[in-house]
Amino acid sequence: MKDRKFEEVTLRTEEIYKGRVISLQVDHVRLPNGETATREIVKHPGAVGILALHEGRMIVVEQYRKALGKNQVEIPAGKLDAGEDPLEAARRELEEETGFHCGKLEHVSSFYTSPGFADEILHLYWAGDLQKGEMNLDEDEFLDCFEITLDQAKALIGEGRISDAKTIAAVYAWQLYELTGRFA
């Protein structure tokens, strides 16, 4: 299929909000049938998540998520700094949030978290050859770091304590690796 077949042409963009992490705009577009419509779009700098496996366990962090109003157990993750290489961001976030340095770091997959309304992309990496060092959290970051087995990960998913896209994807990738020796 031609990529332009369903293209929506931007007629004008309303800048609604420019925040610390995200910004919001409304694009007025011309649809393929000639009609017009609006598209609400959140701009995000992109993020990384790390499937860090240490002696058969996955390193996770538990933190409060204000958007959800509750704690969540997730893989270590964080936003890209401006111009930052995702691989370096993954190394940095793993060290800051968990204190672990990694000897190996490989790309697993990258995905848009909410293509219907946001441009956020999440780059998922596998980290191995881990050495424990010191945590170094951002000043507004509060979390616990611990390690879980695959069975514990599945139990936490069942309890709803693990319930975000990147961690669910990481647990799927880990299961596939255990079954096939590959992450995809």
Q: In whole angstroms, what separates CA 132 from the centre of its chain? A: 23
**Cβ–Cβ < 8 Å for 21, 44:** yes
**Cβ–Cβ < 8 Å for 122, 128:** no
Told to check if 98 binds a copy of itself by CB under 8 A, we report: no
Nearer to a copy of itself, 101 or 109 (CB): 109
Told to check if 1 binds a copy of itself by CB under 8 A, we report: yes
Cβ neighbors of 19 (< 8 A, separation 6 or more) are none
- Measured CA distances, 151 to 7, 54, 128, 172, 183 (Å): 44, 15, 20, 12, 18
Active site residues: 139
Told to check if 68 binds a copy of itself by CB under 8 A, we report: yes
Judged by CB under 8 A, the stretch of 51-59, 61-69, 94-102, 125-133 that binds a copy of itself is 61-69
| Total number of residues that touch a copy of itself (CB under 8 A) | 76
Told to check if 37 binds a copy of itself by CB under 8 A, we report: yes
Closest CA to 148 of 51, 49, 60: 60
Q: Which two tokens stand for residue 30?
A: 């011309």
Judged by CB under 8 A, the stretch of 35-43, 81-89, 93-101, 128-136 that binds a copy of itself is 35-43
CA–CA separation, 136 vs 144, rounded Å?
12
Told to check if 33 binds a copy of itself by CB under 8 A, we report: yes
Q: ∠ CA(108), CA(112), CA(118), 5° rounding?
A: 155
Shortest gap between Cβ of 131 and a copy of itself (angstroms)? 25
Told to check if 145 binds a copy of itself by CB under 8 A, we report: no
Told to check if 57 binds a copy of itself by CB under 8 A, we report: no
Told to check if 148 binds a copy of itself by CB under 8 A, we report: no
Told to check if 165 binds a copy of itself by CB under 8 A, we report: yes
Question: Looking at 76, 120, 126, 156, which residue binds a copy of itself (CB under 8 A)?
Answer: 120
